[in-house]
Amino acid sequence: VKSTVSDSLVMQTYRRWPVEFVSGSGATLVDSDGKRYIDLLAGIAVASVGHCHPRIVAAVTEQLERLIHVSNLFETRPQQELADRLGTLSGGKQSFFCNSGAEAIEAALKLARRWARDQRDVVSPHIVCAQGSFHGRTFGALAATGQPAKQQPFAPMLEGFVHVPYGDPDALESAMDDRVVAVLLEPIQGEAGIIVPPAGYLAKARALCDQWGALLILDEVQAGLGRTGCWFAHTSDGIDADVVCLAKALAGGLPMGACLARPEIAAAFQPGDHATTFGGGPVVAAAALAVLDVIEDEGLLERAIVAGRRLREWLERGMPDVSIRGRGLMLGVQLPNASARDLAAASLSGGVVVNDATPDVIRITPPLVISDDEIDRAATVLSEAWDAIRTA
Ligand SMILES: Cc1ncc(COP(=O)(O)O)c(C=O)c1O
């Protein structure tokens, strides 16, 4: 163990593995000893187009040499183009650009309250969220997050959030009243261990929002931008959202988030209502444009489906006593006991990076560019590691 993390001057907010990665390409990472790993995590669903994709590197380098930052007091071409591209993908939504998933959620929460104050005169607004959800660590996003253990040390929380069991349409219906200005849901819960809601759940949420005049805000931070085989995970549920939050994969590993909203809702934000110095700067926007190009040009939506099916089949064959769930390349391996940390450790030793999302669930969110050969080898390592743990 080479790590000096325990006595470093970095605040100890993460439980880190004693591995230092120094380079990456595609779905391969290399550590400081030169050991190679197959990356089934992609920096937690970020490096969807693979590590250091040459087109991202070229786009960023070119933009770095031209202009790095001017603030949002001025227009910049990459930001305008990115808003156009995201608008085209999302049925004409407008974008507010920021720097993380939590910030995209903050923008959505503020927009919902602002819109409801204008449109519906709601002074005590409620937002319905799901138990087990994860929306980020800033105070608004944390209040929306349905995990009391993450909130408790920082109480009191922001008011006006109601949490209902995820995937239960009746619970959602019971929570609706005329104080509800928005329903905020992940289309597939990520941090909770890749929980896919039952068919029809998001459509029910859509219908309830329409009935009560509330906004449907979908947190696509983890599931969005191709990971499940669609640009947005909720597309496969046949519905549209009023507000969509993006981050993670958006700029290929550079920090960027976006809150997309239908123009008539976005219009509730007046100049001065919301802002961030770095949001949508030319460098990250250039990276995001290159990410969208790569996803399109390399057929990564289709690849997510095909590769996801292959990986799932390999895991189902090699790990018969676990259950695999998810969509595309957003998979959860449900273990029969709380051995996810041990399995992640054993996989890492075997040269495969995965994440223990919960004590009994392994999260698998590889780069969408992962090859068949990498899938087969990684699944073999995981299966063998599991076999050793199971029979120990
Ligand atoms: C669904 C979802 N929303 C929001 C966030 C917060 O994003 P960030 O860590 O960029 O603030 C995450 C992060 O894991 C997430 O998975």
Mean pLDDT confidence for 87-91 = 98
Please check the confidence at residue 5 and state whether its pLDDT lies above 80.
no
pTM: 0.97
Please state the φ and ψ torsions of residue 337, each to the nearest 5 degrees. -150, 180
Ligand 1 contact via 100 beta carbon (within 6 Å): yes
pLDDT > 70: percent of the chain: 98
**pLDDT for the residue 306:** 98
**pLDDT for the residue 2:** 53
Ligand 1 probe mutation, 135, 228, 232, 254, most atoms within 8 A of CB: 135
Check: CB of residue 151 under 8 Å from CB of residue 143: yes
Ligand 1 centre to CA of 317 (Å) is 32
pLDDT digits (tens, 9 = 90+) for 292-311: 999 999 999 999 999 999 99
Please check the confidence at residue 4 and state whether its pLDDT lies above 70.
no
Give the C-alpha separation, 154 to 142, whole Å: 9
Mean pLDDT confidence for 150-162 = 98
Ligand 1 contact via 184 beta carbon (within 6 Å): no
Instruction: Provide the CB-side half-sphere exposure for 78 (13 A, CA).
Output: 28
pLDDT digits (tens, 9 = 90+) for 312-340: 999 999 998 999 999 999 999 999 999 99
Q: Residue 44 CA: which ligand 1 atom is closest? A: 14
Measured between its terminal Cα atoms, the distance across the chain in Å is 23
Ligand 1 centre to CA of 373 (Å) is 30
**pLDDT for the residue 122:** 87
Q: What is the mean pLDDT of the chain?
A: 97
Ligand 1 contact via 134 beta carbon (within 6 Å): yes
Mean pLDDT confidence for 103-119 = 97
Taking CA atoms, 231 is separated from 35, 228, 301, 325, in Å, by 34, 8, 7, 20
**pLDDT for the residue 123:** 81
Bridge partners, 330 (sequence order)? 327
Please check the confidence at residue 1 and state whether its pLDDT lies above 50.
no
Sign, CA torsion 10/15/18/23? negative
